[in-house]
Chain A
Amino acid sequence: MFETYIKDYNEAVFEIDKELALEVVETALQQGVTPEQVVFDIIIPSIEQMMAEIVINADTNLAQHFMTAQIAAEITENMLAKFKTPPEVIGRVIIGTSYGDLHSLGKRIVIGCLKSMMVEVVDLGVNVKAEDFVEAAVAQDAQVIAISSMMVHTATGENGSLKVRALLKEQNLENQIKLVVGGAPYRFDHELYSKVGADNWAADGVTAAKVIRQVILDRKSS
């Protein structure tokens, strides 16, 4: 039953046609699909299909990633207001751009996807100090700190991920809080994440949501 909705919805997102994607969801609701089913049986599987598509099809583009996240987040927010009982949250992530970095596109894509996948997101914004990442992660009992960097010096600089790693180590938090990074420099050098002290990385915003979700699940099961 849901396959057709997922297919129609994903085709609309791939064509970056927001109105059509919203129409698919509206039609599903009119045909008796519940808000819970919209999120768990249409939106989340659709995001997962986009994640799979990115792996096998190098021709997906940033516009499609952006629309995947924005449409999913908007629909999820609307549907959550109509849920009979609040959904179970998978986990919590603290996200922001690295110190000195003011680019927020990648972060916004990650947040949109994560929210739709029932991950609670605390967005610290742009140009975030390492101390603030760690302090927020402790205060919010987050499993992951996610740092986005668009520039080489903000990815590799001593006040970015390297300092977050040092603080986690100093405060003996490395087992509780994992560090995930993403952004342009990491796409050019796939080993860079380990050199800045991160536990994991992703090449794009949609894949980052997948990676972060998995890190949370691993962390909670360990």
Chain B
Amino acid sequence: MTPLEILSATISGQPTPRVPIFCNLLDQGSKLLNMSPEQYYSKGEYVAEGQLKILKHFGHDNVWSASYVGKEAQLLGCKEILFADHGAPNVADFVIKSWDDISTFEIPEDITQHPHWQSIGDCLKILHQEVGATHPICAYVTASTTLPAILMGMDKWMELVLTGPIDVRDELVKKCSHFVQQQLTAYRAAGANVIIYANPFGSPYFIPQKMIVDWSMPWMKQDLKDGPDNIVYYCGMAPLNAVTELVIEKLNVNIFYPAPSDDLTEAKRLINGKGLTSGVLDDIKMIHWTEQQTRDEVKCIMALGKPEGHFLFGTGFMPLDIPEKNIIAMLDAAFEYGRYP
């Protein structure tokens, strides 16, 4: 079976030879191509080449069409990204500087015509041609209730959400939701077949459960009104077990990417054969772990998650500081302990 077939069969509960193994390596591409991050992310061809080289080098199951989260802000008018030699790029120019800017803030009519979509589209085209028939191609879309954080800064957004005028807050989220829907359509049309729908404001670590039910959930329904196909519910490494049943019931989404701090046994109980949940390795610890510690942790995650299937092994967004020997040890262990009899 190909990695794509293994993933599809795992979601539907069909037999597979092993657990799907996702490893989210993004910034590593620039190192492999010997480019600065700014140069690497300037063209979709470079990102696609980097992803294909990473895939060949490490042999895991997935590739990424995304370049960096700030790309969404650039599609919405951000003019400056702070690139780092040794980590993910930051948004350095907030499109919305005050609440007054929200009324004039505009979403592009068609994001696929935007200059910043060019590199995403080019990358997806190559990935789709090269591995689209065999490997999951991941895309990253920030939910409408979280997207304002990269447009105005997390603290300003939190302030508006909690203490600001409700009509202003929801005017912004409505515009963001329109953008999210456009992105989902564009990514699906371009060949992305796993869409990470990221919403920290859908986690009880960020806001109270009641606010998730009353405020986040209706907007998530709006974001996903074209259906839950290929959508993975993810809260940006914040815990999500407490909302899993709600998300299944209200959004029909049945693929989950919990935080390492979520109880994996409980995550399995909640998914209860209805889709797929993931065992996510705390990859920040991998920076300082030994190879043996890495293997032991993978073994532990597989032992908890593998029984009765419906399970994927995954990582966070692997920091560049992680030694390559630990990445290799992690993947070796994942393939070894992830085999089904």
- A in complex with B: yes
B153 at the interface (CB under 8 A from A): yes
Closest A residue to B153 by beta carbon equals A104
- Interface mask (A147-190 → B, CB under 8 Å = 1, otherwise 0): 00001111011000000000000000000000000001100110
B273 at the interface (CB under 8 A from A): no
The answer to whether B206 touches A154 (Cβ under 8 A) is no
Which residues of B have CB within 8 Å of A10?
Answer: none
B114 at the interface (CB under 8 A from A): no
Among the listed A101, A157, A188, which residue makes an inter-chain contact with B284, where contact means beta carbons less than 8 Å apart?
A: A188
State which of A27-35, A39-47, A60-68, A214-222 sits at the interface with chain B: A60-68
Query: Closest CB-CB distance, A10 to chain B, in whole Å?
Result: 15
The answer to whether B321 touches A105 (Cβ under 8 A) is no
Residues facing A in B77-104 (CB within 8 A) are 82, 84, 86-88, 90-92
Bound Cα distance A127, B205 (Å): 26
The answer to whether A62 touches B207 (Cβ under 8 A) is yes
B167 at the interface (CB under 8 A from A): no
Bound Cα distance A70, B288 (Å): 36
Which residues of A have CB within 8 Å of B92?
Answer: 102
Interface size class of A (residues with CB under 8 A): 20 to 34
Which residues of A have CB within 8 Å of B87?
Answer: 100, 151-154, 157
B297 at the interface (CB under 8 A from A): no
B133 at the interface (CB under 8 A from A): no
| A contact residues vs B (CB 8 Å cutoff) | 16, 18, 59, 61-64, 66-67, 70, 100-105, 108, 127, 151-154, 156-157, 184-185, 188-189, 191-192, 195
* 30 intermolecular pairs with C-beta atoms under 8 Å apart: A16-B162, A16-B208, A59-B204, A61-B205, A61-B207, A62-B205, A62-B207, A64-B208, A67-B162, A67-B163, A100-B84, A102-B82, A102-B92, A104-B155, A105-B154, A105-B158, A108-B155, A151-B87, A152-B87, A152-B284, A153-B84, A153-B86, A153-B87, A153-B88, A154-B87, A156-B287, A156-B321, A189-B282, A189-B284, A189-B287
